[in-house]
Structure 1
Amino acid sequence: MKLIQLGASLCLLLASSLSLADSRQSINEVRTVSPNEQISLEVMRGKVEIRGTNSNQFRVSGKLDEKAEGFTLDSKGGFTGFIVQMPRQLREQHQEKVQGSELVIELPVGSSVSFKGVNVDVSLTQVNGGVEINTVNGDITAAQLDGRVELATVNGAIKSQALNGQLRLRSVNGKISDQGATGRLSVESVNGEIALKSKPQELMVTVVNGEVDLELTDTAQLEISSVNGNVELELKNQNAPRIKGSSVSGKFELKLPANLDAAVSLKTSAGGSIKNSLTADQPSRAKYGPASGLQFTSGKGLGVIDINTVSGRIELKKN
C-alpha cells in the first residue's frame, strides 16, 4: 500500500513539474483572408515558422512567450496584423532560462509578409508576394520566396534556397549562404562569411572582415567590394560578364571561362600583386612606386572586367 501511495505521489509531482516547466499560453487562431493579403507580424522572442499555403486562411498556432501579456490579431480589408504583446520593460537575469514563443503561421502563398523580432529565429517557405524579415539576435532560414525579398539579422546566420526576384540579404555577425537564387541579388556582411551557389542575373556583394566564396552561373553583371577579406569567384556559362571589384588588404581570385570575351583592367597599389593564368598577358610595374597593372582584351571585348586593390592580390584562372 505504501509503495502504491509513493508511486501516486511521484506521478503527481512529475505532472506538477511538467506543468510548471511550460506554463505558456496556447494559441490556435484562424481568419479568412484574401489571396494577396498584406500581413505584418511581431514576435519578440522564440522561434517562428511561416508557411505559404494554397488556402485563403491565416492561421497562427503554438505557444506564446512565457512573459507574454497576450496577443492582438486584427484582420480587415486585405490587411492582417499579429503581435505577441510583451511587457514594455522586460528585465531578465543573465542566467534565467526563457521560454519564448513557438509559433507556426500559415498564410496564402500570394501574401506579402513583414516580420519584426528581437531574439527570435525565423524560417519561412513558399511566399510569393514579397517578404521583409528583420531580427536582431536570430537565424533566418528561407526557401521558395518570390518578389521583393529582404532578409536582415544582426547577430545571426542567413540560409536561403530557391529565391527569385529583387533580393537583399544582410547580416552583421553571421554567415550568409544561398543556393539557386535568381533575379537581382544584393548581399552584405560584416564579420561574416558569404557563400553563394547562385545564378542571379545581377549581383552586388559587400563584405568587411569576412570571406567570400561565389559559384555563379549565368550572372551577367557583378559588383564586389571587400575590406580585409578574400574573394573567390567562379563564373560559369557567361563569357561576356561586366564585373567591377575593389578590395583593401585581400585576395581577388577569379575563375573565368576560357573563351572569355571581355576587356580586362586590373590595378594594384601599395604592394599588391597580379597573376594572370587566363591568357599570356602579363602585368607591368609602375615606373615609380609599388603599383602594378594589367590591361588586355580577350575576344571582341563585349564584357568588361575592372578590378582595383590596395595591398591585395588579383589572380585570373581558367575554370
Structure 2
Amino acid sequence: MKLIQLGASLCLLLASSLSLADSRQSINEVRTVSPNEQISLEVMRGKVEIRGTNSNQFRVSGKLDEKAEGFTLDSKGGFTGFIVQMPRQLREQHQEKAQGSELIIELPVGSSVSFKGVNVDVKATNISGGTSLSTVNGSINASALSNSVELTSVNGDIQSQTLSGHVKLKTVNGKITDQGASGRLNVESVNGKLQLNSQPQDLMLTVVNGEVSLALDGTQQIEISTVNGNVELELKNQSAPRIKGSSVSGKFELKFPTALDAKVSLKTTAGGGIKNSLTADQPSRAKYGPASNLQFSSGQGTGNIEINTVSGRLEISKD
C-alpha cells in the first residue's frame, strides 16, 4: 500500500514539474484568407517557422511565450495581422528565451509577409508574394522566397537558399551564407562574414570589418565597397562583366574566366600593391608617392573592371 502511495506521489510530483517547466498557452487558430493576402507578424521571443502552402488559409499553431498576455489576430479585406502580446516592461534573461513562443505559421504561397521580432529565430520557406523578416538577437533561415525579399538581423546569422527577385540581406554582428540567389542581390554587413555562392544578375555589396567569399555564376554587374574587409571573388560564365570596387585597408582577390573580354583599371594609393596573374601587363609606380596603377584591355574590351584601394592590395588571376 505504501509503495502504491509512493508511486502516486511521484507521478503527481512529475506532473507538477512538467507543468512548471512549460506553462505556456497553446494556440491553434485558422482563418480563410485571399491567395495574395498581405500578412504582418510580430513575435518578440522564441522560434517561429513560416510556411507557404497551396491552401487559402492562415493558420498559427504551437505555444505562446510564457510571459505573453495573449495574442491578437485580425483578418479582413485582404489584410491579416498576428501579434503575440507582451508586457511593456520585460526584463530579459538569457534563459528565458527557451520559454519564448514556439509557433508554426502557415499561409498562402502567394502572400506578402512582414515579420518583426527581437529575441527570436525565424525560418521561412515557399513564399512568392514578397517577404520581409527582421530580428534583433536571432537567426534567419530562408529558402524558396521570391519577389521582393529583405532579411535583416542585428546580432544573428542569416542563411538563405534559392532566393529570387530583388533580394536584400543585412546583418551587423553575424554571418551571411547564401546559396543560389538570383535576380538583384544587395548585401550589407558590419563586423560579419559573408559567403555567397550565388547567380545574381546584379550584385551590390557593402562591408565594414568583414571577410567576404564570393563564388558568382553569370553575374553581369558587380559593385563592392569595403572598409577593413578582405574580398575573394571568383566569377564564372561571364566574360564581359562590369565591376566597380573600392576599399580602404582591404584586399581584393579576383579570379576571372580565361577568355576575359573587358577593360581593366586598378589603382592603389597611400600604399598597397597590385599583382596581375591574368595577363603579362604589369603595374606602374607613381613618380611621387606610394601609389600604383594598372590599365589594360583583354579581348575586345566589352566589359569594364575598375577597382581603387587606399592602403590595400589588389590581385587578379584567371580561373
* TM-score between both structures, scaled by the size of structure 2: 0.98
Q: Deviations over 1:64-121 (max 9, x none)?
A: 0000000000000000000000111112456656510000000000000001110000
Query: Following the alignment from structure 1 to structure 2, what is the Cα–Cα distance between the partners of residues 97 and 117?
Result: 12
Distance 1:86 1:4, change over 3 A: same
Q: Deviations over 1:152-188 (max 9, x none)?
A: 0100000000000000000000000100000000000
Unaligned residue ranges in structure 2 (runs of 5+):
none
Amino acid at match of 1:150: E
Q: In the alignment, does 2:220 pair up with 1:217?
A: no
Q: In the alignment, does 2:100 pair up with 1:100?
A: yes
2:47 is matched with 47
SS at match of 2:18: helix
Contact 2:97 2:119 in 1 (8 A): no
Aligned pairs for 1:140-179 (under 5 A) are 140-179=140-179
Contact 1:66 1:98 in 2 (8 A): no
Aligned pairs for 1:1-319 (under 5 A) are 1-92=1-92, 99-319=99-319
Query: Following the alignment from structure 1 to structure 2, what is the Cα–Cα distance between the partners of residues 65 and 216?
Result: 41
Distance 1:94 1:108, change over 3 A: closer
Contact 1:150 1:167 in 2 (8 A): yes
**Which aligned runs of 4 or more in structure 1 are off by greater than 3 angstroms?**
92-98
Query: Following the alignment from structure 2 to structure 1, what is the Cα–Cα distance between the partners of residues 231 and 81?
Result: 42
Amino acid at match of 2:60: V
Query: Following the alignment from structure 2 to structure 1, what is the Cα–Cα distance between the partners of residues 97 and 302?
Result: 60
Query: Following the alignment from structure 2 to structure 1, what is the Cα–Cα distance between the partners of residues 296 and 93?
Result: 63
The number of residue pairs the alignment matches comes to 319
Query: Following the alignment from structure 2 to structure 1, what is the Cα–Cα distance between the partners of residues 49 and 97?
Result: 22
Query: Following the alignment from structure 1 to structure 2, what is the Cα–Cα distance between the partners of residues 101 and 266?
Result: 52
Unaligned residue ranges in structure 1 (runs of 5+):
none
Query: Following the alignment from structure 1 to structure 2, what is the Cα–Cα distance between the partners of residues 111 and 301?
Result: 45
Query: Following the alignment from structure 1 to structure 2, what is the Cα–Cα distance between the partners of residues 97 and 45?
Result: 6
Distance 1:174 1:94, change over 3 A: closer
Amino acid at match of 1:102: E
Query: Following the alignment from structure 2 to structure 1, what is the Cα–Cα distance between the partners of residues 290 and 85?
Result: 61
Amino acid at match of 1:76: K
Distance 1:97 1:262, change over 3 A: closer
Identity %: 80
Q: Please provide the CA RMSD for this pair.
A: 1.0
Query: Following the alignment from structure 1 to structure 2, what is the Cα–Cα distance between the partners of residues 87 and 249?
Result: 46
Distance 1:94 1:54, change over 3 A: closer
Q: CA deviation at 1:229?
A: 1.1
Query: Following the alignment from structure 1 to structure 2, what is the Cα–Cα distance between the partners of residues 315 and 55?
Result: 52
Q: CA deviation at 1:5?
A: 1.4
Query: Following the alignment from structure 1 to structure 2, what is the Cα–Cα distance between the partners of residues 95 and 162?
Result: 34
